[in-house]
Structure 1
Amino acid sequence: MKHVFLASLLAGALALPAYAADYTIMAPAAPGGGWDQTARSLQTALQEEGISGNVQVINVPGAGGTIGLAQFASQQKGNPNALIVGGYVMVGAILTNNAPVTLKEVTPIARLTGEYEAIVVPASSDIENIGQLVDKLKADPGSVSWGGGSAGGTDHIAVGLLAKAAGVDPTKINYIAYSGGGEALAAILGSQVTAGISSYGEFESQVKAGTLRLLALSSEERVEGIDAPTLKESGYDVVLQNWRMVAAAPGLSDEQKAAVLADVDKLAKSNTWQETLKTKGWADTYLAGPAFEEQLAKDIAATETVLKDIGLVK
């Protein structure tokens, strides 16, 4: 009888789903922002889809993600259950802060989502289209003030690339960095700056309400449902995406890396994650493994060039 009981216990144990890992995800930013939202959305999807039994999120804010990145790289070496969320802003922050720890110190897994940059002016502005704004920039770069996020971030990079594409010296741009989206928005709406630049999501409600005029997007092609030309079709060869990614700890074996990649792949294709992308208005720009590593290397090289051009990196 004892054997039968033991056998049924064992069979029950084997029937339970085998969870790959109890993950801890670091969001190297304060709660509430894009990286934090990404980490918490990953937490929900990994648990709801049964990919992981228990997922914790921790926040380590500061210096464009570089403080969290340094902590993650030094403390999680060889830990297959540790993940970190990051993005394009981190690439710029590493270069402008001359950070001792770079993305080479972690194991890139996948690009998950992305948002395109949007260039706006207040509805009261006499600037009707992107061509008129660029004409002003060419005539006197300093007279056009740009309101956006942190210095060396995606917004700043986009303005530098646009200046370059228009034949304007990028070091002459008049970029005003604001620490939060709310501050930048207030300055744009109050006509304290000529134009504003940020991810489209930051401006969407004001564009729809008619208080901001959308001049252009930094996407490769027109985005369905958004009435604005791309910079590329307007004659400026600029395509830029503020992407977000997930990376694993340094020092993983090939098997451990493959297991994490398999979990993230399951997550990216899951109904929960796809639903999250729709709800949040995030683009599905999933790119994983070697293809992502290759793209990341290209993005880092391009960012270094433009930050040198703008004069933020020696």
Structure 2
Amino acid sequence: MKQFVLGTVIAGVLALPAYAADYRIMAPAAPGGGWDQTARAMQTALQDEKISNSVQVVNVPGAGGTIGLAQFVNQAKGDPSQLIVGGYVMVGAILTNSSPVTLEQVTPIARLTGEYEVIVVPANSDIQDMAGLVEKLKADPGAVSWGGGSAGGTDHITAGLVAKAIGVDPTKVNYIAFSGGGEALAAILGGQVTVGISGYGEFESQIQAGQLRLIGVSSEERVEGIDAPTFKESGVDVAIQNWRMVAAAPDLTQEQTAAITADIEKMVNSPSWQKILQDKGWANTYLAGDAFKAELQKDIDSTQAILKEIGLVK
């Protein structure tokens, strides 16, 4: 009888789920922006799906994520509980800030989402559409101020590409960088800048409330659920997609990296994450492992070429 009881206890212990990891996710930007939203979306999905027992999000804003990246690289070495959110914006910021710390020093886990850029104006702006913006840019590019995320990021690159596409010197773009989506939004709503540029998710509530007018989307074709023409439809030959990723600490073992990758894959395939993507209007661009590492290097090379072209990197 004792043997039977002991066997049952052992079997029960072996049947228990593996211990779920605790995570600390750094969003290297102020609250309200895309990285902050991504980190908090991960927190929700990882906890709701019981992939992790506890997920903490910390914000370390500044310099397009490079301040947070430097802190992460220096303080998180060998710690499998530490994650950082990043993306296209960080790639550009590393180049424009000549950052001594790069993405080569972290452990890339996966690309998670993609989001198109949108251009908005305050509801009371005299700019009604992309044609109105183009007219103002051609007349005096410096008189049009653009409010967006970090210098050298996707927002800045897109503004430069729009200028270049319509025959305006992209180095004349009057771009005002904000460290977080909340700050940029306040400046746009307050009329401190002429236009706002960012991902749709950062402006959605204000667009729906009628406080902002959406005049263009950077997709190749119209996006379902977003009532606005593409830049191309409006005669501006630009299409670009921002992407966001998650990386782990430097100096992890293969086993630690594999365990984190498995957790992120579970999260991406979960109903909670799928609902978040739908609610936020984010595209599922999940790519992991060596395929992601190769794509990341390709994006770093192409971003360097774009930034040189629009005068942001020498």
Note if contact 2:114-2:242 (Cα within 8 Å) is conserved in structure 1.
Answer: yes
Say yes or no: does 1:296 pair with 2:312: no
Matched with 1:87 is 87
Q: Which amino acid aligns with 2:288?
A: A
Matched with 1:98 is 98
Using the TM superposition, give the Cα deviation of residue 75 of structure 1 relative to its aligned residue in structure 2, in angstroms. 3.4
Distance 1:95 1:199, change over 3 A: same
Matched with 2:24 is 24
SS at structure 2 position matched to 1:232: coil
Q: What aligned pairs does 1:1-314 form with structure 2 within 5 A after superposition?
A: 1-19=1-19, 21-314=21-314
Q: Which amino acid aligns with 1:117?
A: E
Q: Distance in 2 between matches of 1:246 and 1:26?
A: 10
Q: Which amino acid aligns with 1:99?
A: S
Using the TM superposition, give the Cα deviation of residue 192 of structure 1 relative to its aligned residue in structure 2, in angstroms. 4.2
- Using the aligned pairs only, state the percent identity: 74
- With 8-17 and 75-84 compared, the bigger mean Cα shift is at 75-84
Q: Distance in 2 between matches of 1:62 and 1:139?
A: 33
Q: Structure 1, residues 204-229: CA drift from partner, whole Å, max 9, x if none?
A: 23333334322111123211121211
- Aligned residue pairs total 314
Using the TM superposition, give the Cα deviation of residue 17 of structure 1 relative to its aligned residue in structure 2, in angstroms. 0.6
Note if contact 1:171-1:309 (Cα within 8 Å) is conserved in structure 2.
Answer: no
Note if contact 2:63-2:179 (Cα within 8 Å) is conserved in structure 1.
Answer: no
Distance 1:37 1:118, change over 3 A: closer
Q: Which amino acid aligns with 1:140?
A: D
Using the TM superposition, give the Cα deviation of residue 283 of structure 1 relative to its aligned residue in structure 2, in angstroms. 3.2
Using the TM superposition, give the Cα deviation of residue 32 of structure 1 relative to its aligned residue in structure 2, in angstroms. 5.0
Q: Distance in 2 between matches of 1:28 and 1:281?
A: 22
- With 147-156 and 27-36 compared, the bigger mean Cα shift is at 27-36
Distance 1:14 1:233, change over 3 A: same
Q: Distance in 2 between matches of 1:31 and 1:214?
A: 23
SS at structure 2 position matched to 1:23: strand
SS at structure 1 position matched to 2:299: helix
Q: Which amino acid aligns with 1:25?
A: I
Identify unmatched segments of 5+ residues in structure 1. Answer: none
Using the TM superposition, give the Cα deviation of residue 29 of structure 1 relative to its aligned residue in structure 2, in angstroms. 3.4
Using the TM superposition, give the Cα deviation of residue 119 of structure 1 relative to its aligned residue in structure 2, in angstroms. 1.1
Using the TM superposition, give the Cα deviation of residue 13 of structure 1 relative to its aligned residue in structure 2, in angstroms. 0.7
Distance 1:248 1:275, change over 3 A: same
SS at structure 2 position matched to 1:66: helix
Q: Structure 1, residues 268-288: CA drift from partner, whole Å, max 9, x if none?
A: 010121122234443333222
Distance 1:262 1:160, change over 3 A: same
Using the TM superposition, give the Cα deviation of residue 191 of structure 1 relative to its aligned residue in structure 2, in angstroms. 4.3
**Superposition TM-score, scaled by structure 2 size:** 0.86
Distance 1:278 1:100, change over 3 A: same
Q: Distance in 2 between matches of 1:38 and 1:313?
A: 28
Q: Structure 1, residues 76-128: CA drift from partner, whole Å, max 9, x if none?
A: 33444432222222222212222111011112111212332111233344433
Q: Structure 1, residues 104-158: CA drift from partner, whole Å, max 9, x if none?
A: 1112111212332111233344433213322332343223222323322322111
Note if contact 2:29-2:180 (Cα within 8 Å) is conserved in structure 1.
Answer: no
Moved over 6 A (4+): none
Distance 1:180 1:35, change over 3 A: closer
